[in-house]
Amino acid sequence: MRHDASPQRCCGRPPACRRRAALLLAALVVLPTGLLAQEPDLGTEAQRAAGRQVYLEKCAQCHGENGDGQSYATPFLRPAPRDFTAGIFKFRTTPSGELPTTDDLRRSIREGMPYTSMPAWRGVLSSTEITNLAYFIKTFNDDFTGPYGVPTVVEIPRDPGFDEDNLERGRQVYEENQCADCHGNQGRGNGPSAPTLEDQWGFHIRPADLTKRWTFRNGQTRRDIYRTFTTGLDGSPMPSYDMPEEDRWALVDYVWSLSRSEPNYATAAYSHAVEGPLDLSRGPALFEEAEPAYFPVVGQVIEPGRSFYPGVNGIELRAVHNADEIAFLVTWHDLRADTRGRNGPDLPAPMNEPARPDTATTFSDAVALQFPATLPTGVERPYFLFGDRKNAVDLWFVDLAEGTGRRYIGRGYRDLQPASDGPPIEVRTAYDDGAWQVLFKRARLAGEGLSFPEDTFVPIAFSVWDGFNQERGNKRGITSWYAVYIAPLEQPAALGPALGYGLATLLLGLALVGYTRRKYRTATA
């Protein structure tokens, strides 16, 4: 059972109110029995003073000198740095609406929040420094010093371990609690409510992509997952859930089964050589034999059109080729298919712009594969951001509102020219439950310009535009250069030479022993 009827309501009602209600209840029930004797854990004056020193040095640049989350970096960070004065904390071992324990604050500082600007401070700060910091952070909100400062702790029982038999029940729990409303049917963070979610401060907030465990802000162990939905993430639309113990572990098992623990980022994709024709109408099935390569997508924060919180954080590539053609399948997760509006790599975008989700659907989703315009003979490659004056890039661009391919020759973001020469590109697109699938096909060899010869690493880079995030032109998610290897159509023989070398070595060994024995016998005779 969900504690709050709707995610919107849960963030609309500030936990401070809830806290007051809770206190009233506590005053009625608990105070008379005199059980409120426990003091808040606030540390000593010296510990808080030491914590303040560390805070001003390491934390204030994002969380602000007054702990209100207002700083130089704030406009550029999403999720925004925590405002400690509000007394609302996402990561707790305490019930929804209550303050975190000292250990909760310590854990957040120590482990950080993966894939946000909050780094893990273990290894940089000592355990003592982290404790002092936690005590200092408690000084930003008075509730810590009062009766709310002694929160109840939700015990997490021993993990029974992953049990495949639980998955069916886990799937039911996922459905009963409407997890899919935000996180999507397959957990890709693309539920129907996903585009409308806001946090306490009115910023749009993306539901976690449950297939990418490494991005879980509250940690990716099974206990972390258990804690996250048991205590909820205050200030965000993620409520806390009340359910029987077995159901909790079944849900943990289910979330566990949806996700990989590591992104296993690749540096190269290996195109699979096939004999038959490459028929794009077969869809992703055409790429069944090809091994996927997953590359990290980061924000383009280098040139104007800076994208500090790109909508996409990774892209997967598969490639197949035959004697004449090569085909690529790129897939990535997107919380919504933006197929209205338009997009283009050459649309103007300001240097910086405030974050606001695109409700007007002005810009559509888009993707581009980037190759050097001519295969580099040496190791030098074009500048990875749309090329440079000396070395041009060949962009295979697809505006997903149109679903057809366009080519550009790029010599930097200010010099992108539509290209019409060279072999034509065939494109197919599909959006399947939170995942875009875009297929490309082209002749493998071209007289001039870009070719994909056998036994060659061809440099490849990607751009992804999330229309929801108002990404267009140079405001985009990017990758640096990676490579796609075009395997030879005929694999060189391996077994024959291996046996040959082995046999030769054996004969050599026998000859050596035979020679030595004969010589020895002659010597002793």
Partner 1 sequence: MNLLVFAAVLAAMLAVRFFLKNLHILVWLALWWVALFVVFKYGIEPPLPASIVNMFMAIVTLALLAYLSATTSYLRQATEAVVRFMVDRRFTVPLVVVLLTVPALVAWQVYAERTARPTPPVSGRTIHPPPPNTISFKGKTIDLVNGENPYRALETSDPEAFAAHVENGRRIYYENCVFCHGDNMEGDGLFAHGYDPLPANFNDPTTIAMLQETYLFWRIAKGGPGLPSESTPWASAMPAWENFLTEEEIWDVILFLYDYTGFRPRAREEIH
Q: How far apart are CA 337 and CA 367, in angstroms?
A: 12
- Contact call for residues 478 and 463 (beta carbons, < 8 A): yes
Contact between 203 and partner 1 per CB under 8 A: no
- In this chain, which of 167, 280, 443, 483 binds partner 1, going by CB under 8 A? 483
Q: Compute the least distance from the CB of residue 521 to partner 1, in Å.
A: 8
Nearest alpha-carbon partner for 429 in 397, 460, 398: 398
Under rule CB under 8 A, residue 505 binds partner 1 = yes
* Residue 14 CA neighbour count, 13 Å, CB half: 8
CB of 27 to partner 1, least distance (A): 42
Site string for partner 1, 251-280 (x = CB under 8 A): --------------x-xx-x----------
**Does 495 engage in binding with partner 1 (CB under 8 A)?**
yes
Is residue 246 left, alpha or beta, with left meaning phi > 0 and alpha meaning psi from -120 to 50?
alpha
Nearer to partner 1, 96 or 313 (CB): 313
Q: Rank residues 150 and 416 by Cβ distance to partner 1 and give the closer one.
A: 416
Q: Which of 138, 98, 100, 93 is nearest to 18 (CA)?
A: 98
Exactly one of 32, 34, 244, 378 binds partner 1 (CB under 8 A); that residue is 378
Q: Which is nearer to partner 1, 433 or 455 (CB)?
A: 455
**Helix 222-231 to helix 245-258 angle, to the nearest 10 degrees?**
120
Phi, psi (rounded to 5 degrees) for 157? -70, 170
Nearer to partner 1, 309 or 468 (CB): 309
| Identity of the residue, 28 or 495, whose beta carbon is nearer to partner 1 in the bound complex | 495
Q: Count of residues binding partner 1 (CB under 8 A)?
A: 62
Binding mask 49-88 for partner 1 (x = CB under 8 A): ---------x--xx--------xxx--x------------
Using the rule CB under 8 A, is 316 a contact of partner 1?
A: no
Are the beta carbons of 465 and 472 closer than 8 angstroms?
yes
Handedness of CA 440, 444, 447, 453 (dihedral sign): positive
* Integer CA distances (angstroms), 452 to 15, 263, 283, 381, 408, in order: 58, 28, 22, 16, 18
Mapping DSSP to helix (H, G, I), strand (E, B) and coil, where does residue 483 land? Answer: strand
**Residues within the interface to partner 1 (CB under 8 A):** 58, 61-62, 71-73, 76, 115-117, 119, 121, 124, 265, 267-268, 270, 296-299, 301-303, 308, 351, 378-381, 383-384, 388, 455, 457, 478-483, 485, 492-495, 497-499, 501-506, 509-510, 512-513, 516-517, 520
